[in-house]
Amino acid sequence: MCLGIPGKVVRWIEREGAFAQAEVEFEGIRRLVHMACVTEAELGDYVVVHAGIAISRINPIEAERIFETLSQWGEDEGWHTGLSQDTEASP
């Protein structure tokens, strides 16, 4: 459940209150998205949109983490051991 799709904030329409809205782009298609819950997003940020409202700003550093981990595995080839250390850092 709860289809949440990442889109890029390309234009703020209204930054405050219950009618806060921004234009958000999904692969070239734009839609007005309600931003009342993610008022801190900046232009160019990606937000997760569910049912027409943004529920989260995507953290680009966290987004890379899985690939970094995997690339480390790739480098040392004995990556299985390294995995548990890296991932258990987050919770």
DSSP state of 5: E
Among 14, 48, 82, 86, binds other proteins (CB under 8 A): 48
Cα separations (Å) of 28 from 3, 7, 9, 24, 90? 19, 10, 12, 10, 33
Q: Site mask, other proteins, residues 3-42, x = CB under 8 A?
A: xxxxxx---------xx------xxxxxxx-x-xxxx---
Among 12, 14, 58, 86, binds other proteins (CB under 8 A): 58
34: helix, strand or coil: strand
* Interaction of residue 82 with other proteins, rule CB under 8 A: no
Centre a 10 Å sphere on the Cβ of residue 45 and count the other Cβ atoms it contains. 18
* Interaction of residue 53 with other proteins, rule CB under 8 A: yes
**Min dist. Cβ of residue 57 to other proteins (A):** 9
